[in-house]
Amino acid sequence: MTGEVVAKIGPGLMVLLGIVDGDTKKDAEYIANKLTGLRIFPGEEENQEFHLSVKDIKGEILLVSQFTLAGNCQKGKRPSFSLAMNPGDALPLYEYTASLLEEEVPTKKGIFGAHMEVELINDGPVTLMIDSKK
């Protein structure tokens, strides 16, 4: 698959989604609601740095599964991924999250569980972590 473009978006959000053991549809609903409503884009006036949501700007979302976000690096020199949900259970939750996002904004997906080369132009940059448990 080298060189094949699977998904591409214009202005919007690239979301790296890490699904951990214990995550449920309720967590997916929280994440989708937060992502589509989070005011992180500038408004038209000078002092409106974090004023508009991805819905407000009519943006898009690129959703990429990223189990390595569940990595624990506290012990040793190699991360442990024991907190990550197994792929068979995580895939339906990933798809459910994508469907919720798609209800609100155009959403494209990477290939679940695949090794991908992901390019990003981070305008700002603004990088945030959203955790449904905190």
Active site residues: 68
Those residues with Cβ within 8 angstroms of residue 110's Cβ, 6 or more apart along the chain or in another chain: 6, 7, 62, 63, 64, 65, 116, 118
Q: What is the b/e burial string over 5-15, where b = at least 16 CB atoms within 10 angstroms of the residue's CB?
A: eeeebeebbbb
Q: Which amino acid is at 120?
A: L
